[in-house]
Amino acid sequence: MSNTSLNDIAASQATAGTTACAGGCFSSGCGGQSEVSKASALASTRTSVLDLHIPSMDCPNEERSIRAAVKKIAGVRGMRFDLAQRGLAVDAPQDAWPHVIAAINGLGFATDPAAQSPESGSETHVETAAVSAGPTACRDPSCSEPIAVSSEAAPHGGTAFAGLLLRVPAMDCPTEEAQIRRALERVPDVRRLQFDLPARTLSVDAPASATDAVVQALLATGFKSEVLSEPPSAELTAKSQRVELTRLIAALAVAILAEGFHFFAPDTTVWKVVGMGAAAAAIALSGLSVFKKGLSALLRGQLNINALMSVAVIGAFLIGQWPEAAMVMALYSLAELIEARSVDRARNAIAGLLSLSPSQAEVQQPDGSWTLQQAKLVQVGSLVRVKPGERFALDGRVSAGHGAVDQSPVTGESVPVDKAPGDDVFAGTINQSGSLEFRVTKPASDTVLAGIIHAVEEAQSQRAPTQRFVDKFAAVYTPAIFVLALAVALGTPLLLGWDWMTAVYKALVLLVIACPCALVISTPVTVVSGLAAAARRGILIKGGAYLEHARKLSVLGLDKTGTLTEGRPKLVASQVVVDSGDEGKVLRLAKSLAARSDHPVSKAVVDGLAGEPLEVTAFGAELGKGVHGTIDGVEYVLGNHRWIHERGQCSAELEAALHKHESQGRTLSLLASSSQVLAIFAVADTTKDTTRQAIAELKAVGVRTVMLTGDNEATAKAIGQEVGVDEVRANLLPQDKQAWVTQTAAAQDVGMVGDGVNDSPSLAAASVGFSMGAAGTDTAKEAADVLIMNDDLRKVAETIRLSKRTYSILWQNITLALGIKAVFFVLAVFGSASMWMAVFADMGASLLVVFNGLRLLKPLRA
């Protein structure tokens, strides 16, 4: 009998190339999604795992009750639920099976078919049955709707990733998110976290073996969690948000009513009791969860925001300031909800791009007809048609048609790009003219657009340096203010003769002021907005650290080929040097010979000359020299300068003309007969149209530019002078470029821009590495810190400007948060601030920093 655990099963399935979807399907063809119309594949593993089918289990509430009952049974190591198929796999020894079944039956759930008896000695199989024709209504009256069998696995349109999905009921504000993030960063194997505050869910990218460690880390921080098999639906999340907002508005209304009783009602015991009752009701409506979290924090010896608010509200109520206590709690809870929604808006700003990709594509069928299909079901290699005005649903390569495509959602380019057969197209872009047919090159889950969203979400999960500093500061600031409040409450009556009630009230005001919400959220909302703003412009920044650091760059290394130049040889000059009377015939002779060669220089000559090639006989090539052949009975050669010189055909006049081209870094080919040179062809890697402007913009932001190239000195200097770089370094090998970057980085912050494999060492060594053309190639992506989705070098200067703007707003937010608190701190100590004012100051500061950070999502001006 095998004792394989659920973790081992997951590992074996991963090895076999299968993935577990939100619905529990283990089919390699499922793609991580459960389909009503498809039966999931059988994934049978011979283990000691108990496999049960529970026909009446079909919603998260029922899953939670079963999970709570089964996990109490001794020997249960893990569970895996499949609500779509009403399945449950329990990893437990066989002697625990009867207890598992009894516990489930005791909740009113029948198991059908019954599990094999442990005494039978046979091994069970973990398998998934066919998906039913559709979901049935949930039996639990507290469940608002059944689980939908849907492919939408990620909340808010984000990209889903394999791992642990948890519901954390007490997590509803950015401060608590930061607290959980700090706790889980210390758990081994946790690779990434994705928070959804409105839904109160947390996705943890970690192996199944880390589940217990994650849950325990959350418990140690004071957060209970529930494992979910799939995210709540968007409708369910929206409904819960509406309910919460309604509850808080009602609490605020009751708090205002209590305040009215305090000011306008007769000063009698009856009206005081009524007013206190209204205040207590308002506090109960808005603050029960705050009290629970605050008490939990105090029992653990922690002073977090909930502990401060709980002490302040209870203290205010006990000293007779019950109207203020009610108003403070209602306003605080409402502010927390607004903050959570605002941060969530920033985090999901880029995820909205996913909606740009259509859910259906028009696919050619085997019989030649065209049919609309779900994009996620379209196979790689399928032929898809896109009409004018439609968006591309998938990535692919054009096979027929011509048209202009708006690629701004992916690359940030404002000008449409012409597409022809052989060109790549990307999901989410818009076909503006002409019908295009393309072959799908990537599945829907792996498009460039999905990759952008995934990359931004990963970057958002990392804390920037300023954010780490603020978190450390807040960890000291809050306890310090708490101690100060205690000193005011206990010390001032004894030392300064203050009235005890006055001293306690001032101390409570200080506690409200001590709330670190505005300070804690001042950095993440700004960094997240900056990352999203960059992605919208076709700039993928791999983390807040690089977004912050880009502003410090003082020197930038630039690869030449493909970065400053087009990276493709081009015929830039041609000159017939004999008076033949027919220049067109001479040029056709050159094109005829070049057309037979596959050398890049020859290809450039062919592309640059008009006319049809002539027939060539006796064609041959001379290694390192050129080609030769016979046309119309005459032998010609098309070769380099050295070969023509060896043939003795270079006159002084010709040498002068050749030197003029070579001094500009051009590669030369010469057409010659047996007696004379007929024509000169100059080929060069031309600079991009935007390069000179890009260099000027880099200089405008204070960056010195250095071109690093393996080309010869003459070519390098010609290109450098043309584009306006500050310094040129030629004849460099990849290790030479890396050595320059490393040496320069020792004295100042240095960036590196490149697009090829040979640039990877330099990109990795730089303070910030920029990779060009990331939308069309995987080259140098891993080594770079910033990915420019198109070939526009101007994006580098734009990144630096965005970095400077982000840093400025970061410190604006920190100054606002601390400045407002400092003002009210002084007012509180000198008796000019009430709890009302304190909570308005805290709420106002929080909303100010949130909305200030969201300004980064607006277009950036140069």
Annotated catalytic sites, by residue? 559
Q: Are strands 750-754 and 555-559 parallel, antiparallel or unpaired?
A: parallel
Chain centre to alpha carbon of residue 430:
22
Q: Which residues pair with 684 in a beta bridge?
A: 570
Q: What is the dihedral of CA 740, 741, 744, 747, to 10 degrees?
A: -150
In 314-423 the beta strands, taken as DSSP E runs, fall at 360-364, 370-374, 383-386, 396-400, 403-406, 417-419
Contact 290, 329 (CB under 8 A): yes
Distance from C-alpha of 535 to C-alpha of 789, rounded to nearest angstrom: 9
Distance from C-alpha of 669 to C-alpha of 653, rounded to nearest angstrom: 17
Residue type, 60: P
DSSP notation for 29-53: TTTT---TTSPPPP---EES-EEEE
Say whether the peptide bond before residue 146 is cis (omega within 30 degrees of 0): no
Half-sphere exposure of 412 (CA within 13 A, CB side): 28
**DSSP single-letter state for residue 127:** -
CB atoms within 10 A of CB 513: 27
Please list the helix, strand and coil fractions of the chain in percent, rounded to the nearest 5, in that order. Answer: 50, 15, 35
Distance from C-alpha of 295 to C-alpha of 696, rounded to nearest angstrom: 59
For 572, phi then psi, to 5°, come to -105, -15
User: Which of 37, 36, 82 is closest to 60 using CA atoms?
Assistant: 82
Burial class (CB in 10 A: 0-12, 13-18, 19+), 385: middle
Distance from C-alpha of 25 to C-alpha of 203, rounded to nearest angstrom: 18
DSSP notation for 51-112: EEE-TT--SHHHHHHHHHHHTTSTT--EEEEEGGGTEEEEE--GGGHHHHHHHHHHTT---S
